[in-house]
Amino acid sequence: MTTTVPVVENILGANERLAQTNRARLDETRTFTVNFMASPGAGKTSLILRTVAALKDRYRLAGVDGDVATTIDADRMAAAGIPAVQINTGGSCHLDAVMLQGALPQIALEDTDVLVIENVGNLICPANFPLGAHLNILIASVPEGADKPYKYPNMYRGVQAVILNKTDLLPYFDFDMDYFRRGVEALNPGLAFFPLSAKTGEGFDAWLSWLTSQADAYLTP
């Protein structure tokens, strides 16, 4: 008789409970938290940095960066002018609620309006490990192909918005936008969707307007 399923259920259940603890802590300090997820190479860091640059004069920002190794992305956040904490997962393919719980005391949450989390680049594991964030954002990209919602459905089910990055490359790739949208809509009807280019800025204003509306709704007493 195998015990694999109960063990997995116990792990996920413990993570869920800790995610709720993290959310309670973030709500206590009124820190609106956004968790960005994507596959490697989707342009997650570039999109985050452009978003941070647009928001840093409007909100008090801080960042948490998760990666298997190095502090490269956290260093980029810090260079953009916001305090940043690096979480090295030691080989794990995702952040989990325990890791975030350990990072939160290193952040002045009482002085932070918006906390930006950059999860590890992966389209499988992060879907199963909520962190306690208020928004979960998935960044897809044109070069990855239009079939990703069909191949990685769990990632698309558990998010509040999908960003399709690198739209400046649409002329050079056989990307079926209608097929992509049908896959997303079947998994998450009415999901906020933002095709844009973090490089050129095309479509970025719509994403920024939506994000600030979400943050303002949370932060306004």
| Burial of 80: CB neighbours in 10 Å, binned 0-12, 13-18, 19+ | middle
Give the pLDDT of residue 181: 98
Domains annotated for the chain, with CATH where assigned, are: 4-219 (3.40.50.300)
Cα distances (Å, whole numbers) of residue 77 to 23, 28, 49, 165, 174: 23, 25, 7, 19, 33
- Per-residue pLDDT at 55: 97
Positive/negative CA dihedral, 198, 203, 208, 211: negative
Residue 36 is predicted with a pLDDT of: 97
> Whole-model pTM?
0.91
Dihedral angle, C-alpha 177, 179, 180, 184, nearest 10 °: 130
Q: What is the 3-state secondary structure (H, E, C) of 114-160?
A: EEEEECCCCCCHHHHCCCCCCEEEEEEEHHHCCCHHHHCHHHHHCCC
| Residue among 91, 115, 211, 105 nearest 160 (CA) | 211
Looking at residue 6, its pLDDT comes to 44
Contact 90, 145 (CB under 8 A): no
The one-letter code for the residue type at 52 is: V
CB-based contact 210:162 (threshold 8 Å): no
Confirm if 21 and 105 have CB atoms less than 8 A apart: no
How many Cβ atoms from other residues are within 10 Å of residue 148's Cβ? 22
Across the chain, which has 221 residues, the per-10-residue mean pLDDT values are 42 83 98 96 95 96 84 78 86 85 95 96 88 98 98 95 98 98 97 98 98 98 79
3-state SS, residue 163: strand
